[in-house]
Amino acid sequence: MRLEPIIIVAGDPRSIFFEIFFKTLNKKKYNSPIILICSQKLLYKQLKINKINIELNQIKIADVLKNKFNKRKLNYIDIELKTSLRKKLNLFFIKEYIKNSFDVAFKIIKSGITNKVINGPIDKRVFLEKKYLGVTEYIAKKFNIKKFVMLIYNKNLSVSPITTHLPLKFVTEKITKKLIYDKILMLNDFYKKSLKIIPKIAITGLNPHCETIDKFDEDKKIIARAVKNLKKKGIKISGPYASDTIFLKNNRKNFHIVVGLYHDQVLTPIKTIYEFDAINITIGLPFIRVSPDHGPNLRMIGKNESNHLSLKRCIDFLDEIN
């Protein structure tokens, strides 16, 4: 059986990506061929800095479309990374480089050669310039996808926010029974089809302790009613639960997924519990997109102290899934 290659977009050229990437490759050999989309100059520079000896195989998009890549070597597609006259990066060149890298990955995906993509850490402030809420939203827009779900996945416990990279003051107006209903169904479908698991799902309340002094109670009138409708569909879901206690050890062990209403409500506890042992999966795209669950970590560049576990989990996940 031919294994689909894993496409990896290196991401922000100022990030810790190459450090954690080389640490990952040094720990394990993968069955799936890897195709890295990056700057050749940057790749060779980082190989020298990190004292890595690895066999490389430069290819072009046309080679990928003809299945001409090497399983035993690190395949890479060179993306030009422009610099100023003083040989320095500026924000415009960084943004252009990341966009061109994604464009190549998207062209390969649309060809049907593979449906597995990883993107390295990206400084959203530079690349997205407030035009998108996050990289998840950027990719969804490129494929005209309006319904998608962010899943922060760990094999023991995962979390998913109903609203993603949305400022807190806008969250309440976005929460609807339909939004909750649709996203829970997508999560349930992904676990059943891709992971072969019928998930047990908990959902948090919006308000502290699922209580409010306001006349309109979102927890009772929106969340509880959405849960009731989902149960009628056979979904194993319960809640709403108070978000300050659902992550206690004896509570969280009963569920595969804890769904929250906004980003930090569930991402803060999952990162506290598992730190780097989790990955970001976008559900709803016409391919499987995962990324390390952390940013570019500009302050750690060159220190060789960054934790590579999340990137390793990304490659492990796509290497094992068919």
Q: Of 282, 286, 285, 277, which Cα lies nearest the Cα of 316?
A: 277
Number of domains composing the chain: 2
* Token representation of residue 148: 């998608």
Q: Please tell me the predicted confidence (pLDDT) of residue 246.
A: 97
> In this structure, are residues 285 and 137 in contact, taking their beta carbons and an 8 Å threshold?
no
State the DSSP code for 219: I
User: CATH number of the domain that 298 lies in?
Assistant: 3.40.718.10
Q: Please tell me the predicted confidence (pLDDT) of residue 86.
A: 59
Q: Please tell me the predicted confidence (pLDDT) of residue 278.
A: 95
**Whether residues 3 and 130 fall in one domain:** yes
Is 95 within a domain?
Answer: yes
**Whether residues 306 and 211 fall in one domain:** no
Task: Please spell the DSSP secondary structure of 243-273, one letter per residue.
Answer: TTTTTSHHHHTT-SEEEESSHHHHHHHHHHH
Q: Please tell me the predicted confidence (pLDDT) of residue 126.
A: 84
Task: Name the stretches of the chain with pLDDT < 70.
Answer: 1-2, 84-87, 322
**Whether residues 188 and 105 fall in one domain:** no
> In this structure, are residues 79 and 101 in contact, taking their beta carbons and an 8 Å threshold?
yes
Q: Please tell me the predicted confidence (pLDDT) of residue 84.
A: 67
Q: Please tell me the predicted confidence (pLDDT) of residue 102.
A: 96
Residue 263 has φ and ψ, to the nearest 5°, of: -50, -65
**Whether residues 163 and 268 fall in one domain:** yes
Q: Please tell me the predicted confidence (pLDDT) of residue 42.
A: 93
Is 248 within a domain?
Answer: yes
Distances from the Cα of 143 to the Cα of 7, 103, 222, angstroms: 17, 11, 30
**Whether residues 264 and 187 fall in one domain:** yes
**Whether residues 189 and 307 fall in one domain:** no
Pairing of strands 74-78, 158-161: unpaired
Residue 21 has φ and ψ, to the nearest 5°, of: -70, -45
Q: Please tell me the predicted confidence (pLDDT) of residue 124.
A: 84
**Whether residues 246 and 107 fall in one domain:** no
**Whether residues 174 and 136 fall in one domain:** no
Distances from the Cα of 249 to the Cα of 74, 201, 253, 255, 270, angstroms: 41, 16, 6, 11, 12
Give the predicted TM-score (pTM) of the model.
0.91
Q: Please tell me the predicted confidence (pLDDT) of residue 193.
A: 94
**Whether residues 115 and 223 fall in one domain:** no
Q: Give the structural domain span for 97.
A: 1-145+285-322
* Token representation of residue 206: 């919006």
> In this structure, are residues 227 and 238 in contact, taking their beta carbons and an 8 Å threshold?
yes
**Whether residues 262 and 294 fall in one domain:** no
Q: Please tell me the predicted confidence (pLDDT) of residue 235.
A: 97
User: H/E element holding 171?
Assistant: helix 171-174
Task: Please spell the DSSP secondary structure of 24-40, one letter per residue.
Answer: HHHH---SS-EEEEE-H
**Whether residues 243 and 266 fall in one domain:** yes
**Whether residues 2 and 141 fall in one domain:** yes
Give the C-alpha separation, 242 to 253, whole Å. 16
Give the C-alpha separation, 229 to 177, whole Å. 9
Q: Of 18, 26, 104, which Cα lies nearest the Cα of 61?
A: 104
